[in-house]
Amino acid sequence: MPTHGNRRSRVTGLLGSSRCDLAAHHLHPDGRTMPITVRMLWQPRDSAVVTTWFPELVQGPVWFLSVELLAAGCDAPAGLGDVSLIPHPHNPQRAELILVGDSGRACLSLPLPPLRRFLARVPGEHAPEARR
């Protein structure tokens, strides 16, 4: 994955699975931002869940996010409690993923186009063609 100035998001498939590396930004409460990769993996054996982690964090947390929550959050605010995905009010190309855990709260700005491409590769009712 290229470094900060030339970061890109990508979607790949692994033996029936789908993986996405999103070039995101961690939004600090003081207004600073830090580039971070958000890696998402969908596997058919647990088709309602996307396993999510941060490769730069050696001992970082692993989150299990609902496919439906991610799909809904691309278009309108979705999620309550520990996980929310909210489209950015002024930038239709981004959404904010809010994660609340034992060690605190994290807000990540995600690029929506590669997230949508990733979700389009995941079978189910959430897929764009299924919502028409």
**Confidence (pLDDT) at 127:** 52
Domain that holds residue 111: 4-123
**Residue 132 within any structural domain of the chain:** no
Q: What is the pTM of this model?
A: 0.81
Does the pLDDT of residue 37 top 70, yes or no? yes
**Residue 131 within any structural domain of the chain:** no
Domain count for the chain, please give it.
1
**Residue 44 within any structural domain of the chain:** yes
C-beta of residue 26 within 8 angstroms of C-beta of residue 34: yes
Confidence of residue 53 (pLDDT cuts 50, 70, 90): very high
16: left (phi over 0), alpha (psi -120 to 50) or beta: left
Q: Which tens digits make up the pLDDT trace of 60-117? A: 889 999 999 999 999 999 998 899 999 999 999 999 999 998 888 999 999 999 999 9
**Residue 128 within any structural domain of the chain:** no
**Confidence (pLDDT) at 9:** 56
Q: Which residue, among 67, 40, 65, 51, has the nearest Cα to 128 in the 3D structure?
A: 67
130 burial level (CB within 10 Å; 0-12, 13-18, 19+): exposed
Confidence of residue 52 (pLDDT cuts 50, 70, 90): very high
- The upper half-sphere exposure of residue 84, i.e. CA atoms within 13 Å in the direction of its Cβ, equals 13
**Residue 117 within any structural domain of the chain:** yes
Q: Which is higher by pLDDT, 11 or 32?
A: 32
The CATH number that applies at residue 46 is 2.30.31.20
**Residue 18 within any structural domain of the chain:** yes
Confidence of residue 21 (pLDDT cuts 50, 70, 90): very high
**Residue 129 within any structural domain of the chain:** no
**Residue 130 within any structural domain of the chain:** no
Q: Which is higher by pLDDT, 58 or 1?
A: 58
